[in-house]
Amino acid sequence: MQRASIIGAREREQAALHAASVARADLVGYVRQAVTTGALTVIEVADLLGVTRGAVYKMCREA
C-alpha cells in the first residue's frame, strides 16, 4: 500500500511539472506574439505579469 502511494505521488508530481512546462511555453508564445505584433509594449507586458523588462525580452528571444 505504501509503495503504491509513493508511485502515485511521483506520477502526480510528474504530471504537475509537465502541465507547468506547457503553461510556461504557452505564456512565452503569447508574450512574443503580443510584443512582435505591437499589441502590447514590453513595458506593458512586464507590468501585467509583474516581471522585469529583461524577463520579457528573454521570453521574446526564447520562443
Rg (CA), the chain: 17
pTM score, whole prediction: 0.73
Show me where the domains of the chain are located.
24-63
What are the pLDDT digits (tens) for 11-58?
Answer: 999 999 999 999 999 999 999 999 999 999 999 999 999 999 999 999
Residue 3 has pLDDT above 90, yes or no: no
Q: How sure is the predictor about 63, in pLDDT bands with cuts at 50, 70 and 90?
A: low
C-alpha cell at 59: 521570453
Query: If residue 1 lies in a helix (H) or strand (E), which one and from where to where?
Result: none
Q: How sure is the predictor about 2, in pLDDT bands with cuts at 50, 70 and 90?
A: low
Place of cell 504557452: 26
42 C-beta neighbours (distance < 10 Å), count: 18
